[in-house]
Structure 1
Amino acid sequence: MTNERWLIALDLDGTLFDHDLRIHPRVAEAIRRTLAAGHVVTLATGRMYCATRPFAEQLGLTAPLICYQGALVRDETNTLLHLTLPLAITREAIAFARAHDVHLNVYLDDVLYVAEMTPEAEFYHSLSPMAPVEVVGDLLAFVQREPTKVVFVCDEAQTPALLAEAAQRWGRVAQVVQSHARFVELTHREVSKGRALLLLAEHLGIAPTRTLAIGDNRNDESMLRAAAVGVAMGNAAPEVQAIADWVAPPVHAQGVAAALERFVLNEAGAGA
């Protein structure tokens, strides 16, 4: 039987925090009050579990986390979902990256593997410094099992063409998303943050009508559509704002706090 708790899923980059990776005190306090009121808060991100867990610990979150765009849902002791990218697609992506001189990240067992430490790998690591990186040389020879996902990292100007090429090549057999101005990701074709959110709600005994999702990028669209209340950040892409039930202030104006105050904490005047 369901109860009246809310399940709130928060994207990280561009939603919970900006490029500095710092959670504003107002946002942290709103999350603390939400938890104290008996609601459940999780993080829903493209990041690795090991790179997401420190933020959950900082905020006092204990619910399973949605990582790798929804390919992995787990906490410290249990894994609710883990969908992996077929090995054949992985090898095609590695070969494509090599042929087109595009950097590729491969994620296996919550470790990031790269062929070499390129400027693109350094850039990625600067955004996710908690993520372990292993340089293995020949990725084709190294990868013998299905990874959780792969990520192409390129210059921002190259992303639209790379996204279109990836969608054409693998869009029918894998999930292809842009998660950052410089990132194009491939995961199992059934992966989405929206699916993971509903799975977690069922696991926790929370009705879908009591789910709220907050995000800013195209990879957040599925969970904004799946949630009873989908909130886009004020800094979100226009396409994301267009499908949202409400547009919160941007990340630098603590939009997550405004959304929690408006929809969960019900504070008078919040988000006005």
Structure 2
Amino acid sequence: MKYELIALDVDGTLINDHHELTQGTIETIRKIAEQGTEIVLCTGRAPDSTIPLMKQIGLEGYIITHNGAATVDTRNLNVVNEFALNPHGLEMYIDYCHKNNIHFDVNTTFALYVQGAAGLSKEALDLYSKFMIQPKELPGWADFSEPIVKFTVTAPMEELDKVYADWSLWSQEFNMLRSGDFFIDLMHKEASKGAALQNLAAKRGIPAEKVMAIGNYFNDLTMLTFAGLGIAMENSPLEVKAAANDVTLSNNDEGVKAALEKYCL
């Protein structure tokens, strides 16, 4: 089977735990792209922290960002698909965060906003800098000029377990997902990596059986199950491995490289 479209998650999948993209992985991806296969990074990151990785690999084209809430063409920065959420529905979640001292941010496709941006702690600034993000001060809802696509909370794992349990009891207007051990995202009910990948594949005229996806976490489940071949990383939770067609090496052992060599070279 020649796969025409390959979707790669970034954190915990494409890059290692030191946020490094290995040369061996880059060379393997380039070989496959030269064969005519379209490579799409499909990530919870924003475009500004995804495009540099595309450039490092030597690719251009589409990226699926914000866990599927926004698809962007890197060649012209056009937004080709966007799932805008209702900001007023976030108010009860923001109240909860204030009462429980939980850090949150609000994302449009190209910008990230926090309350008290100028007074963020060094720890928070270091976290954002890892993802090449410069937070802006959160305005009122009426002052947003672009759609809001994602609301993210960040806290230690044990605190987030309680947040997730509490919010799971609420009537859900949003798609709530655990996008990492230290992150919970709220998005439009229909937004997911799988939905965005399905839309992109349809736009490109590529059937699901010719789509391959590689990921490592719960936010990758929808794209792993949509793709004709879904591959989980060795560092994935058991539930993610169970949903995949195959399991490759960990992100620290060039698992993406191993999977691509096995199925595409």
Name 1:121's counterpart in structure 2.
124
1:169-208 to 2 correspondences below 5 Å: 169=170, 172-208=172-208
Q: Secondary structure at the match of 1:148?
A: strand
Name 1:101's counterpart in structure 2.
101
Task: State, as a whole percentage, how many aligned pairs show the same letter.
Answer: 31
Q: Quote how far apart the aligned CAs of 1:39 are.
A: 0.4
Task: Check conservation: 1:19, 1:127, Cα contact below 8 A.
Answer: no
Q: Distance in 2 between the 1:261 and 1:252 partners?
A: 16
> For the structure 1 residues 262 and 61, does the alpha-carbon distance in structure 2 shift closer, same or farther, using more than 3 Å as the test?
same
Name 1:248's counterpart in structure 2.
248
1:112-261 to 2 correspondences below 5 Å: 112-116=112-116, 117-118=120-121, 121-128=124-131, 130-134=132-136, 136=137, 139=138, 142-144=140-142, 145=144, 146-169=147-170, 172-261=172-261
Q: Distance in 1 between the 2:109 and 2:255 partners?
A: 33
TM-score (norm 1): 0.89
Kindly provide the CA deviation profile for residues 116-144 of structure 1, in whole angstroms up to 9, marking residues without a partner as x.
3146633531431x21211x2xx4x6333
Q: Choose from 36, 39, 43 the match for 2:37.
A: 39
Q: Distance in 1 between the 2:179 and 2:126 partners?
A: 15
Task: Check conservation: 1:5, 1:38, Cα contact below 8 A.
Answer: no
The residue type paired with residue 128 of structure 2 is H
> For the structure 1 residues 211 and 37, does the alpha-carbon distance in structure 2 shift closer, same or farther, using more than 3 Å as the test?
same
Q: Quote how far apart the aligned CAs of 1:74 are.
A: 1.2
Name 1:270's counterpart in structure 2.
none
Q: Quote how far apart the aligned CAs of 1:207 are.
A: 1.7
Q: Secondary structure at the match of 1:41?
A: strand
User: Please, which moves more after superposition, 42-51 or 73-82?
Assistant: 73-82
Q: Secondary structure at the match of 2:170?
A: helix
Where does structure 1 lack aligned partners over 5 or more consecutive residues?
266-272
Q: Quote how far apart the aligned CAs of 1:220 are.
A: 0.3
Task: Check conservation: 2:45, 2:66, Cα contact below 8 A.
Answer: yes
Task: Check conservation: 2:24, 2:257, Cα contact below 8 A.
Answer: yes
Task: Check conservation: 1:193, 1:223, Cα contact below 8 A.
Answer: yes
User: Please, which moves more after superposition, 226-235 or 53-62?
Assistant: 53-62
Q: Distance in 1 between the 2:67 and 2:167 partners?
A: 17
Q: Quote how far apart the aligned CAs of 1:166 are.
A: 2.4
The residue type paired with residue 133 of structure 1 is P
Task: Check conservation: 2:3, 2:212, Cα contact below 8 A.
Answer: no
Kindly provide the CA deviation profile for residues 225-257 of structure 1, in whole angstroms up to 9, marking residues without a partner as x.
000000000011111001110000001111101
Name 1:269's counterpart in structure 2.
none
Where does structure 2 lack aligned partners over 5 or more consecutive residues?
none
Q: Distance in 1 between the 2:252 and 2:3 partners?
A: 28
Name 1:110's counterpart in structure 2.
110
Runs of 4+ residues deviating >6 angstroms: none
The residue type paired with residue 161 of structure 1 is K
Name 1:84's counterpart in structure 2.
84
Name 2:12's counterpart in structure 1.
14
The residue type paired with residue 259 of structure 2 is A
Kindly provide the CA deviation profile for residues 68-90 of structure 1, in whole angstroms up to 9, marking residues without a partner as x.
00000111433221111211222
> For the structure 1 residues 132 and 119, does the alpha-carbon distance in structure 2 shift closer, same or farther, using more than 3 Å as the test?
closer
Task: Check conservation: 1:72, 1:79, Cα contact below 8 A.
Answer: yes
Q: How many residues align?
A: 257
Q: Distance in 1 between the 2:141 and 2:238 partners?
A: 38
The residue type paired with residue 131 of structure 1 is I
Task: Check conservation: 1:50, 1:110, Cα contact below 8 A.
Answer: yes
Q: Quote how far apart the aligned CAs of 1:175 are.
A: 0.6
